């Protein structure tokens, strides 16, 4: 099964992806994670992406094209994948269609995490991440047992550079302008599962699980 997960910043794409890949044995591909890794390693892609990401703007489509093509050159995607945060523009969606066609693959479903902008503020400003194992926390909704420390591996939690109100405003505006129209684009292909992402993590997962089991 090949899936896309779409939603505004903080809608829960990463949280839900972590659960879905374990339950459905999928490979998780997050362009946000790939770009943050490139920034951390100071690669040429990272050097281009850094400014855009810190400001909350989208990284240019050509850069995203290159990292996606490189990702498909690895041979671990035959049993199913979940794209998180990609595609984000119509050009990226059209590019993905072409890439998949060449590889004789297709998208089976697009999960849309639907949530109002107001609900996202605490999710974004309260998010804390484990830099070692990637576990996602929230100081309002999912606190670690010991403040600032990862329950799973004991590393010190960090906050993302773009998790502030100023950057969130730009990220939301990019989302509404460029990414939200993709829901209609994929609805025309009859691929979209709309989900109320304001509910608790377990409720959201159950709804997606039962939908995906219906596809298998
Ligand atoms: P990316 O990393 O994709 O960030 P994003 O889209 O802004 O989404 P987030 O990671 O902020 O949120 P999420 O939906 O994953 O929420 P999470 O599960 O963590 O991209 C970052 C940047 O990279 C972009 O701004 C852009 O610059 C660039 N980029 C990436 N891909 C690109 C592309 N394709 N093209 C161009 N540029 C690109 O949850 C958030 C918080 O809420 C957590 O604390 C979590 O614990 C909590 N939470 C989650 N679900 C629930 C729930 N149901 N109830 C209560 N709390 C919840």
Which of 160, 161, 199, 209 does the annotation list as catalytic?
A: 160
Q: Which CATH architecture has domain 2-115+166-215?
A: 3-Layer(aba) Sandwich (3.40)
Ligand 1 geometric centre to CA of 38 (Å): 17
Ligand 1 neighbourhood includes 71 CB (under 6 angstroms): no
pLDDT per residue as tens digits for the range 59-102: 999 999 999 999 999 989 999 999 999 999 999 999 999 999 99
Residue 163's φ and ψ, nearest 5 degrees, are: -90, 65
If you ran DSSP here, which 8-state letter would residue 42 be given?
T
Residue in the structure block whose two tokens are 């297709």: 106
Task: Share the mean pLDDT of the chain.
Answer: 96
Q: How large a percentage of the chain has pLDDT more than 70?
A: 100
Ligand 1 neighbourhood includes 171 CB (under 6 angstroms): yes
Q: What is the pTM of this model?
A: 0.95
Grouping H, G, I as helix, E, B as strand and the rest as coil, residue 150 is: coil
Ligand 1 neighbourhood includes 142 CB (under 6 angstroms): yes
pLDDT per residue as tens digits for the range 18-51: 999 999 999 999 999 999 999 999 999 999 999 9
CB 182 within 8 A of CB 87: yes
Indicate where the chain has its CATH 3.40.50.300 domain(s): 2-115+166-215
Q: How far apart are CA 138 and CA 31, in angstroms?
A: 21
Give residues with Cβ within 8 angstroms of 101, minimum separation 6. none
């Amino acid at each position: 099964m090949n899936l896309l997960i779409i939603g505004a910043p903080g809608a829960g794409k990463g949280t839900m992806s972590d659960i879905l890949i374990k339950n459905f044995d999928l490979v998780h591909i997050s362009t946000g994670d790939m770009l943050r890794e490139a920034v951390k390693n100071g690669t040429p892609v990272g050097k281009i992406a850094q400014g855009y990401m810190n400001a909350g703007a989208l990284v240019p489509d050509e850069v995203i094209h290159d990292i996606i093509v490189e990702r498909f050159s690895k041979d671990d995607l035959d049993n199913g994948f979940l794209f998180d945060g990609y595609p984000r523009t119509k050009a990226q969606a059209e590019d993905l269609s072409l890439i998949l066609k060449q590889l004789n693959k297709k998208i089976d479903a697009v999960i849309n995490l639907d949530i109002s902008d107001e609900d996202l503020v605490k999710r974004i400003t309260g998010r804390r991440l484990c830099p070692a194992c990637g576990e996602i926390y929230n100081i309002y909704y999912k606190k670690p047992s010991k403040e600032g420390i990862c329950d799973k591996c004991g590393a010190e939690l960090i906050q993302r550079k773009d998790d502030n109100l100023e950057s969130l405003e730009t990220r939301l505006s990019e989302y509404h302008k460029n990414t939200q129209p993709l829901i209609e684009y994929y609805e025309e292909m009859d691929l979209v599962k709309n989900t109320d992402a304001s509910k608790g993590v377990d409720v959201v997962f159950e709804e997606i699980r039962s939908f995906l089991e219906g596809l298998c």
